[in-house]
């Protein structure tokens, strides 16, 4: 009986426990999610750091400017007026190139320095342009002796330098692969003048030459081409900084046979003074400026006045010259920018900047040696014709990376203040 009661009690307890379990709510889901395949706070590892941009396809330096050095005279007693025109021309050319997107996606920059028309200063500033400023090419040298020294530095440093109006034969006679000249040279100009000199019947020429590579080089060139023609050449050399040329002019006045023409080979201040002082000492012979500054420089007329009328000068531009489309564009753009027409040497300098840009495109590089190599074989439709550099292997021949396509004109102003555009063309 006791055993039966015990069994009954155990069944009741078991039943009560089952009933209690059935009354419990369903358990809430676990507060921790199933373990992820990778830690939830870490995103999948990227193939490259998310804060770093993709590596550039070209080195960062390619984003900088391409520098062109412009060493030129910008202070007296040097020919700073020409230097200012040089700077204006380069800036105009570079502005036009940059407005079209630059070259190889990079902008061009002119690094302008004043060489003061001094050889030592000229060498120093060109050395700095190459070694510190890291220019790709150089344009703008002016005074002959300075340009010759600067060309030697460029040759040694293997950076292309282009001469737009520096005439000493020695510049290209060194046969450097880094020196290029668009302008004519001394002995070439002397040869080009001979037909006019013979036509005029001159028998005795006096060259007033400054003591520079241009001055003495021009006198030597004239002597070499005139002597075989039976024309006597007398040279008087003077310091380039001279202000009183009357001693040399009086010597010329006393020469026998009389001098038929005085030829001025100068780039500094005496080039303006000689015509006036020649008339003041009583010289009545013809006078020819060695280059075309009477045609564009207001200072010429300010200094010479009436004495400047009738002075011949050679130039490589006249209104009879057929400009190319690029030449017409440059002439109009320069006048619009600066208020006067450009002299011929500005055309040549503009060509040089454009040729450097074209060489960079051709070489696909702004490295100086590659620019020089591209220039050597280039044919470029410039402002006055197609420019192609000629070279002759004869040692000492100035025809080396030299353009020979210039056309010479001889002009004569017929009234005070007359500029080249209105002067009389007397040759050809």
Q: What is the pTM of this model?
A: 0.81
pLDDT computed for residue 332 by the predictor: 97
To the question of domain 63-184+321-388 being in CATH 3.40.50.2300, the answer is: yes
pLDDT computed for residue 63 by the predictor: 63
pLDDT computed for residue 36 by the predictor: 39
Q: Which helix (H) or strand (E) holds 422?
A: none
**Pair 86, 350: CB distance under 8 Å:** no
Segment 216-232, tens digit of pLDDT: 999 999 999 999 999 99
Q: How large a percentage of the chain has pLDDT more than 70? A: 85
Task: Give the angle subtended at the CA of 135 by the CAs of 134 and 141, to the nearest 5°.
Answer: 135
Segment 68-113, tens digit of pLDDT: 999 999 999 999 999 999 999 999 999 999 999 999 999 999 999 9
pLDDT computed for residue 164 by the predictor: 98
Tell me how far apart the alpha carbons of residues 69 and 339 are, in angstroms, rounded to a whole number: 25
pLDDT computed for residue 226 by the predictor: 97
Tell me how far apart the alpha carbons of residues 336 and 331 are, in angstroms, rounded to a whole number: 9
Q: How large a percentage of the chain has pLDDT more than 90? A: 82
Longest dimension (CA), the chain: 175
Task: Give the angle subtended at the CA of 428 by the CAs of 390 and 404, to the nearest 5°.
Answer: 5
Tell me how far apart the alpha carbons of residues 101 and 99 are, in angstroms, rounded to a whole number: 5
Alpha carbon separation from 238 to 158, 222, 224, 284, 335 (Å, rounded):
35, 17, 20, 21, 36
pLDDT computed for residue 320 by the predictor: 84
pLDDT level of residue 62 (50, 70, 90 thresholds): very low
Token output for 274: 């000689």
- Residue-range domain boundaries for the chain: 63-184+321-388, 187-315+410-427
Provide CATH code, domain 187-315+410-427. Answer: 3.40.50.2300
Q: Above 70 in pLDDT, residue 421?
A: yes
| Equal CATH topology for 63-184+321-388 and 187-315+410-427 | yes
SS3 381: strand
**Pair 391, 399: CB distance under 8 Å:** yes
């Amino acid at each position: 009986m006791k055993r039966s009661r015990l069994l009954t009690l155990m069944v009741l307890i078991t039943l009560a426990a089952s009933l209690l379990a059935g009354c419990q709510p369903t358990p809430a889901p676990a507060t921790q999610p199933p373990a992820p395949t990778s830690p939830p706070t870490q995103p999948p590892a990227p193939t490259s750091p998310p804060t770093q941009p993709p590596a550039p396809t070209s080195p960062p330096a390619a984003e900088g400017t391409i520098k062109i050095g412009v060493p030129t005279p910008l202070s007296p007693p040097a020919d700073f007026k020409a230097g200012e025109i040089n700077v204006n021309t380069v800036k105009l050319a570079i502005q036009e190139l940059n407005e079209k997107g630059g070259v190889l996606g990079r902008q061009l920059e002119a690094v302008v320095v004043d060489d003061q028309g001094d050889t030592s200063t000229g060498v120093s500033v060109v050395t700095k342009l190459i070694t510190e400023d890291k220019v790709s090419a150089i344009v703008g040298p002016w005074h002959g002796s300075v340009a010759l020294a600067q060309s030697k530095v460029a040759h040694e440093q293997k950076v292309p330098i282009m001469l737009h109006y520096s005439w000493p034969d020695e510049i290209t006679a060194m046969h450097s692969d880094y020196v290029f000249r668009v302008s004519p040279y001394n002995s070439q100009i002397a040869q080009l003048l001979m037909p006019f000199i013979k036509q005029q019947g001159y028998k005795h020429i006096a060259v007033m030459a400054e003591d520079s590579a241009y001055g003495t080089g021009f006198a030597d060139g004239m002597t070499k081409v005139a002597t075989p023609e039976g024309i006597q050449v007398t040279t008087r050399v003077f310091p380039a900084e001279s202000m009183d040329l009357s001693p040399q002019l009086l010597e010329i006045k006393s020469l026998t046979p009389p001098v038929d023409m005085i030829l001025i080979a100068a780039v500094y201040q005496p080039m303006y003074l000689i015509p006036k002082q020649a008339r003041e000492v009583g010289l009545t012979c013809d006078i020819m400026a060695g280059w075309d500054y009477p045609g564009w420089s207001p200072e010429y007329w300010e200094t010479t006045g009436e004495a400047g009328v009738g002075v011949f000068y050679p130039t490589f531009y006249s209104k009879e010259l057929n400009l190319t489309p690029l030449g017409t564009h440059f002439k109009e753009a320069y006048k619009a920018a600066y208020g006067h027409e450009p002299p011929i040497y500005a055309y040549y300098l503009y060509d040089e900047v454009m040729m450097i840009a074209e060489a960079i495109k051709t070489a696909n590089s702004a490295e100086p040696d590659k620019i020089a190599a591209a220039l050597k074989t280039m044919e470029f439709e410039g402002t006055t014709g197609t420019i192609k550099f000629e070279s002759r292997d004869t040692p000492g021949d100035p025809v080396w990376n030299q353009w020979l396509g210039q056309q010479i004109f001889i002009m004569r102003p017929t009234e005070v203040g007359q500029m080249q555009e209105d002067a009389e063309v007397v040759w050809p």
